[in-house]
Amino acid sequence: MCTLCVLSGGPAAHAQAPARDHLSIKGTPRVIHYTRKDFNSDPQIWTMCQDNDGILYFGSNNGALIYDGEIWQNVKLPNQSSVRALAVSKDGVVYVGGFNEFGTIKKDVFGKYHYESWMHLLRAEDRNIENIWAIHEVQGHIVFRSYRFLIAIANNKATTFPALSAFRFSGVLHGEFFIKDGDQVKRADLRSLEFTPVLGPEHLAGEEFFSLLPGDNGHQILVITKQGGLFEVDLARGGASFLQRLLEVNSNNRITSAIKSSNGSYYFGTLKSKVIALNGLGVKAAANEVFDKLDNTVHNLFESHEGNIWVLLNNGIDCIDISSPVSRLYDNASIFDARVGQGKLYLATSQGVIVSPLDAGNNKFFKTNFKSVPGLEVPAWSLQQFEGHILCGNNDGLVVFPESGGYQKIPGVKGVWKTIAIQGKPGYYMVCTYEGLYVMQYDQAGGFKILNQIEGFNESSRDILQGNEPGVFWVCHGYKGVFRIKIDNAFKRVLGLEHFRDKNGLPSPFNINVFRWNGEIVFTTNQGIFTYNASADRFEPHAFLNRTLGTQMNIRKLLEFRDKTWFIQNDEVGYFTTKSENPVLTKGLFLQLKGMLNESMECLLPVNDNNVLIGTREGLFSFDLAYNPSGNETQTVITSVSYKKASDEMPLAIQTSERSPQHLAYQTTSVRFGFSAPGFDDKMNIQYSYLLEGINEEWSAWQDVPFQEYTGLRPGRYVFRVKARSLLGESADEAAYHFQLTPIWYKTNLAYLCYALGSLLLIIFAARQIQQRIEHVKQKTIAEEEKKRKVLQLEIERIKLEREKEEIIKHKEILEEDVIFKSKELANYTMLLVRKRELLNEMSEDLKNLKDAVSNDRARQAVRELQRKINQNLQSEEHLKVFEANFERVHSEFFSQLRSSFPDLTQKELQLCAFVKMNLTNKEIASILNLSVRGIETARYRLRKRLGISHEEDMAEFLEKLYGSQELMGSQEEKE
């Protein structure tokens, strides 16, 4: 059992209520709709991803849309195609795919995003890839899927895998890569290049495969068909078993997307019926009631880091804010009170009593479960539970809802605010009305019955609390102050009445409320919280509560529930731990209700330690207190910085430091900062506070605008700081931007320093001129002596150089003999290389014939392995590297002369020149380069053009002459 204190426009009414720890009362998640007006692009959205900083990327017909929570940017592909695939790798790189385009999206130093194409990694013949439909990071590769190809990128190299029919699905489950080629689903191993069939159309009862999802356990895999069938796959045996159906049989509706969320729920997008949700396998949620704001046609679904479900539509984007700790239960009236009882939730509203049954299975309900009670369509103020019945005070009187159902109006009383139990008199209750107090009795036979009105007190009694002495009650009036009344033992008339206004310690008679807190009777005012000292007949400040809550704001409600004290401070809801010596006020989660509460008629209903319901003018909201915004570490981000110089606005780099501030010229007229907090769960309700060191002494008030501009700044150093918070209580670390406005050059400190230094230098220069004249004569004599010494030294050096030249000539003769020997070795190596590659080609052809002749699968596999090794050897270019290294070692001047005379020659053309110089035939060159003879002829024709050789002139002779002329020039240089 627990004590539940219900606030209904006045003091807390204590009533025993069963523990509700098992309840999790949640309402409709908020659906945020983004339209063309928001992102200013084509509204047909195909795909989505989120990077490590929380920034969202969307694929549309106009390119990629990027949203940081405040600003949308549009990045177009070079061919203006739509973006059909997006993905983020583990290292935070964003990959994008369109029509005949794929690559990455990156951010520059100015905070602008741009596209970098990877199409150059493909061979020219493979570049007609058409649309990229999916991107995956798997087995050490980034894989791009089109219908025609799988493109696997690793180490800046691309490998393409053509489809036998068409790749219409790809996905990664439990670390394995699955594709659908034609009508077969296969497991793909990119390392071994093996594609193993695991599922065919015969396993799906004639339905068309759509996608794979992880199941409830760690190894289960589910198959979803386009017709809405849900199957479980048995990978070991290669079959599938039917689980359940998502769409009606023979329906013209189709499944268009499917995901499994991090909390284990399944979501399915459809062609015509919005989103279908499964809380678990076999448990279908009321999708159309939960997500009734969605466009029917769903292209794709995505779960963000925060746990929200993003629905990509044919006409916009919807975010289902499932991760939010706030949900709406009812939104058609002002809520004045709420009560959980009899398996239902009762609401006292401006339109009467609204009731919804509690779903014991799911412990949740939605707004469509609420129904108005017929005949009670007048404003209802309070709900209490006594004797197993629900009592409602409304504008017409008092209504009781028995456990058996229905309701009854209790005669004899009009305009009831609330009902409270009279302590010390079991079965007796005080009915508080617009014009005084009534006594009511309950017995099992007759139920509730009004006995009499208490004479001598006719004030409105909405805010009432029974005192500690028998028959004493405190009544607070919003404008008249506090009444202390003493009622006789028969509860028929008032024996004594004291009226407290702005004397006896109270600051004023306005806005006073009375509550029982921690066993004490306390009074809240506009200037703090007070208790009544009977011996001094004065109201005295409550030290602990005033220290905790302050005295500057009015505490309109105070409520104890278990270990928490709930309060409403001005227009903000919060709580603190009651027994804490230095309590911390928790208000951030409820900031979005600011301005929505019914003043003096606030509704606050804690359900259990982790759930509280709050009524407002815009309906009833549920809050999940288990949400911990302090655990979500995020950073405020400066997204753009620009400055104006005259009428021109120019961007600045968004990253600076204290040691490296951004320097701005003195002509700068204004500086503008843009900022965001993309890591927040709640991207719709973000506020910012900022200051400019050097201008502001205090942080600004919180604002919704994500930018700030400063004009008329004087020269000096500045630091712009900005921090963010959301209305869920999230807070982000501040961001800082260091910059400096330099003054006009002739007024800078450097200029003044230069003036002083210039004067000093002028004096020093004059002194030096005199000194230099004296030194000039002295230096002239020394110079003549030095000249004679140098002439003698040059003669000695000439004799040494002649001796060294003779030694160089001898060494060259030895090197020339060595070059001739190595040239012969290189020629022999080249011919052996030709013979080896011809032999490998012959062996490859023989193995190909042998493979066709062999019937045994193992033997065929062995033949294929030999073929693969031979082909790898043929394709290897290591022999070319060895040849080039040896050729350059022997004929280093040859390549040097070629590069000097023809700097535009490619590496392949240099290789071809080397082979021609060695007088190799086209067939021999083709064998070494693993090309056709026709290809070599074409290459030689192109090379002739690059070298400027006519058709009649022999290329080998031309190269020999070129090399010979280089050697001749070298010899002449040596002689000289």
Distant-in-sequence, close-in-space partners of 603: CB < 8 Å, separation ≥ 6: 7, 8, 335, 336, 337, 338, 348, 613, 614, 615, 616, 620
Q: Are residues 868 and 800 in the same domain?
A: yes
Q: What is the pLDDT of residue 22?
A: 66
**Would you say residue 497 has pLDDT above 70?**
yes
pLDDT tens for 738-777 read 999 988 877 777 778 888 888 889 888 888 888 888 888 8
Instruction: Mark whether 715 and 767 lie in a shared domain.
Output: no
Question: Angle, nearest 10°, between helix axes 955-975 and 749-853?
Answer: 140
- How much is the pTM? 0.70
Domain count, the chain: 3
| CATH number, residue 701 | 2.60.40.10
Residue 892 identity: S
Q: Which range marks the domain in which residue 654 is found?
A: 630-743
Same domain membership, residue 641 and residue 620: no
In a domain, 955, yes or no: yes
User: Which position has the higher pLDDT, 341 or 285?
Assistant: 341
Average pLDDT for the chain: 86
**pLDDT at residue number 67:** 96
Residue 7 confidence (pLDDT): 32
Check whether residue 618 and residue 634 sit in a common domain. Answer: no
805 and 680 inside one domain? no
d(CA 137, CA 218): 20
Q: Please spell the DSSP secondary structure of 47-113, one letter per residue.
A: EEEE-TTS-EEEEETTEEEEE-SS-EEEE--TT-PPEEEEEE-TT--EEEEEBTEEEEEEE-TTS-E
Residue whose C-alpha is closest to residue 15's, from 605, 539, 592, 648: 605
For the ranges 86-90, 646-650, 954-958, which has the lowest average pLDDT? 954-958
Residue 189 CA to chain centroid, in angstroms? 31
Q: What is the pLDDT confidence band of residue 284, given thresholds at 50, 70 and 90? A: low
pLDDT greater than 80 at residue 13: no
Q: Residue 289, CB half-sphere, CA atoms under 13 Å: how many?
A: 11
For residues 921 and 781, membership in a common domain is answered with yes
Q: Which residues, 6 or more positions from 51, have their beta carbon under 8 angstroms from its beta carbon?
A: 57, 88, 92, 94
Task: Give per-residue pLDDT as tens, 560-601.
Answer: 999 999 999 988 999 999 999 999 999 988 988 988 999 889
- Specify if 4 maps to a domain: no
Domain termination site, one of 606, 626, 646? 626
What pLDDT score was predicted for residue 892?
A: 64
Considering the domain architecture, whether residues 712 and 764 belong to the same structural domain is answered as no
Whether the predicted pLDDT of 874 surpasses 70: no
Q: Report the C-alpha dihedral over residues 897, 901, 907, 911, rounded to 10 degrees.
A: -50
Measuring CA to CA, which residue among 277, 287, 316 is closest to residue 36? 316
Lowest mean pLDDT, pick from 391-400, 645-654, 678-687, 923-932: 923-932
Percent of the chain with pLDDT over 90: 52
- For residues 836 and 748, what is the distance between their CA atoms, to the nearest angstrom? 77
pLDDT for the residue 306: 86
* pLDDT, mean of residues 514-536: 94
327 inside domain: no
pLDDT, one tens digit per residue, over 210-245 is: 999 998 776 778 999 999 999 988 777 767 888 888
Tell me the mean pLDDT in the region 531-545.
94
At 824, the pLDDT band (50, 70, 90 cuts) reads low
Q: Is the pLDDT of residue 117 over 70?
A: yes
Residue 146 lies in a domain: no
Measured between alpha carbons, how far is 685 from 673 in angstroms, rounded to an integer? 20
Residue 47 CB-density burial (10 A; 0-12 exposed, 13-18 middle, 19+ buried): buried
Cα 333 to Cα 25, 29, 143, 351, 424: the distances in Å are 19, 18, 53, 6, 38
Residue with tokens 């973000």: 686
Are residues 851 and 961 both part of a single domain?
yes
Rg over alpha carbons for the chain, rounded to the nearest Å, is: 43
What is the per-residue pLDDT across 14-70, written as a single tens digit (0 to 9) for each? 333 444 666 778 887 888 899 999 999 999 999 999 999 999 999 999 999 999 999
Higher-confidence residue of 730 and 362: namely 730
Is the predicted pLDDT of residue 914 greater than 60, yes or no?
yes
Whether residues 736 and 793 share a domain: the answer is no
* Top mean-pLDDT range of 231-245, 326-340, 761-775, 958-972: 326-340
Q: Which residue has the higher pLDDT, 902 or 443?
A: 443
Verify that 615 and 716 share a domain, yes or no: no
Domain boundary (717, 743, 769) is at: 743
> Which residue has better confidence, 414 or 905?
414
Determine contact, residues 260/213, Cβ cutoff 8 Å. Answer: yes
Mean pLDDT lowest among 655-659, 826-830, 833-837? 826-830
User: What confidence tens digit (pLDDT) does each residue in 376-406 have?
Assistant: 999 999 999 999 999 999 999 999 999 888 9
**What are 189's two structure tokens?**
């191993």
Cα 127 to Cα 115, 124, 151, 392: the distances in Å are 18, 6, 11, 74
Is 436 within a domain?
Answer: no
Cα 880–chain centre separation: 49
What sign for the dihedral angle of Cα 239, 245, 251, 253?
Answer: negative
Same domain membership, residue 737 and residue 771: no
Residue 421 has pLDDT above 70, yes or no: yes
743: which DSSP letter? P
Report the alpha-carbon distance of residue 648 to residue 97 in Å, rounded: 36
Distance CA(898)–CA(960), nearest Å, equals 11
Residue 830: the pLDDT is 64
The pLDDT of residue 334 is above 50? yes
Confidence of residue 890 (pLDDT cuts 50, 70, 90): low
Residue type, 685: N
Q: State residue 632's pLDDT score.
A: 62
Decide if 676 is inside a domain: yes
Same structural domain, 772 and 912: yes
Residue 287's pLDDT is: 44
**Is residue 287 included in any domain, yes or no?**
no
Largest CA distance in the chain: 140
Residue 638 has phi, psi (to 5 degrees) of -85, 115
Q: Residue 297 falls within a domain, yes or no?
A: no
Domain boundary among 719, 743, 767: 743
User: Which secondary structure element, helix H or strand E, spans residue 247, and what is its range?
Assistant: none
3-state secondary structure of 130: coil
